[in-house]
A and B are shown apart, each in its own frame.
Chain A
């Protein structure tokens, strides 16, 4: 048993070390938010007194609540649509496989590798011709069918017991009902992980909103944070405040959804 507890001790030690390394930057960010720009540049590692000045400065530059609302709207709508479209496709690519769908899927995977910067100019022309510049739809639409997420759902579906599907069909459920009432609940931890990933990607998306969005009223959080960084003398303290505000929602989403994993674990133990 000592060998066991030694192993356990090492696990705790390793996890604590990794956790510390992972969290440290966030601690540093919070310290930075309380210091003046000059102190942040000097790498001061203790709390300062400039927090309220920094917050005031940030809020004086931008209409922060509006920007957060825009970002949240885009992230929530984009995430919901992506999950629906991609889980349907990922499920179908695995369960209803045909020779043609397999070839199509291989083609899809190949496209995953095109760097976005190579597509930006054609995409911009398309969105612009469609009259979607400076609209949220223009930001959301090109990202909905994410091959990455389709691929993820397909791989996860490989673990979906097909006996469940067979049983549901014997009970007379239609295919869409099986998807809705059997697949979705069973795969909830997959959905939870995908939600985190897709929400995060939408919330932190920068390059494409930058190209599509034009007016101050439609700005998203990544755009205003990055606009604070350029210029000759960026206000580091205020940038830290902005960064914290920009990071918080994804952390909260993760906190809320990670309980799904725990539930899954408890279920397995029973």
Chain B
């Protein structure tokens, strides 16, 4: 199977080795980056270093003393932290693959120019992520109530014999949160895939179709490789989004029942704003997220790296 052009656009970029940039290009490059670098330096790097310094402080309210690794030791003894970490990892492992697969499938379906009502479907599927948190959480609470719409529907279809306690059962509460995030963010990720598909040369599909390549093979061998940069992008950002999961759990289950949906971000929030403020310890917990994301992102970059190079 021929893959016209892709080699050039995707791998060709790699061929443009750094050393080949002229002096003028170098200057232009840094000038183009300058506004972003300055702003990131002021509004991100500086506060991050500040919070790193805080993570070595112990004490509450405004009374800090240097505690060395005291906060890290505390992490290892904190059952609430361990529950939050376990939940967060579970949400990540289960939810991200489901959502990204769904988003890619829908993007491909909607990218077919012969499909009717494309605009309508696209808008409908995108809508959840513009929904305000208020409406969204109120809705999920009401739909998944003991005698809510979902239970009524499942009961009348004969799929279950007694209602599922979505919000107050520890297992089903987790299922509910995963359902809710998937509902809200699938359309969002789909937009990135759709936009990426626009930049793809359609003639390649035509050629493959004429050659008799079946649809699934076109998806696996053409679409996925071409979407690779965007797949990497969405998987890294979804990883970060899931590890920072906060809005859904605070609004739908409040981290309950019995901490079954407590996430690291919610715990940080509690430590900072609900509990007697302990900024040092909160900063330490947030660096756990940083380390986790760093490891997972590296793994994703590694998996998505170019294997065809050799």
Contacts and interface: CB of A to CB of B under 8 A. Distances in A.
Do A and B have CB atoms closer than 8 angstroms in the complex?
yes
Interface string A146-186: 01101110011011111100000000000110010000000
B28 interface: yes
Given A88-B35, A117-B269, A262-B119, A155 B198 contact: no
A16 B130 CA distance: 19
Contact of A258 (B119, B128, B233): B119
A110 interface: yes
B9 interface: yes
Given A43-B148, A113-B294, A155 B36 contact: no
Contacts of A48: none
A239 interface: yes
B36 A117 contact: no
Given A14-B109, A155-B229, A162-B13, 8 more contacts: A16-B121, A20-B124, A92-B29, A117-B268, A162-B12, A193-B195, A247-B130, A254-B127
Contact of A159 (B26, B199, B268): B199
11 contacts: A15-B121, A19-B121, A19-B125, A22-B124, A25-B135, A85-B39, A109-B297, A117-B273, A117-B282, A122-B47, A268-B113
Interface in A83-107: 85-86, 88-89, 91-99, 101-102, 104
Nearest to B17: A97
Interface of A: 7, 11, 14-16, 18-23, 25-26, 28-29, 43, 85-86, 88-89, 91-99, 101-102, 104, 108-123, 126, 141-142, 144-145, 147-148, 150-152, 155-156, 158-163, 175-176, 179, 187, 189-190, 192-193, 196-197, 200, 204, 206, 222, 225-226, 229, 236, 239-240, 243, 246-247, 250-251, 254-255, 258-259, 261-262, 264-266, 268-269
B142 A159 contact: no
Contacts of B122: 258, 261
Interface of B: 5, 8-10, 12-13, 16, 18, 21, 24-26, 28-30, 32-33, 35-40, 42-48, 50-51, 106, 109-111, 113, 115, 118-136, 138-139, 142, 145, 148, 183, 187-188, 191-192, 194-196, 198-202, 215, 226, 229-230, 232-233, 236-237, 240, 243-244, 246, 264-265, 268-269, 272-273, 279, 282-283, 286-287, 289-290, 292-294, 297
Nearest 8 Cβ contacts at the A-B interface = A96-B29, A113-B293, A145-B39, A92-B32, A89-B36, A19-B124, A118-B286, A264-B198
Contact of B272 (A20, A85, A117, A189): A117
A261 B240 contact: no
A21 B229 contact: no
A96 B134 contact: no
A268 B129 CA distance: 28
Contacts, number: 285
Residue of B28, B230, B273 ringed by the most chain A CB atoms within 10 A: B28
B127 A26 contact: yes
Nearest to A147: B40
B33 A101 contact: yes
Given A88-B32, A196-B191, A197-B191, A152 B233 contact: yes
A145 B36 contact: yes
Nearest to B25: A96
Nearest to B239: A113
Nearest to B15: A162
Contacts of B229: 155-156, 158-159
A115 B28 contact: no
Contact of B131 (A16, A25, A239, A269): A25
Contact of B136 (A25, A86, A160, A189): A25
Nearest to B42: A126
A91 B32 contact: yes
A120 B3 CA distance: 48
Contacts of B123: 251, 254-255, 258
Contacts of A254: 123, 126-127, 130
B18 A243 contact: no
B297 A144 contact: no
A88 to B, nearest CB: 5
A199 to B, nearest CB: 10
B108 to A, nearest CB: 10
B22 to A, nearest CB: 10
Contacts of B16: 95, 97, 162
B40 A108 contact: yes
A246 B135 CA distance: 10
Given A251-B130, A266-B113, A112 B293 contact: yes
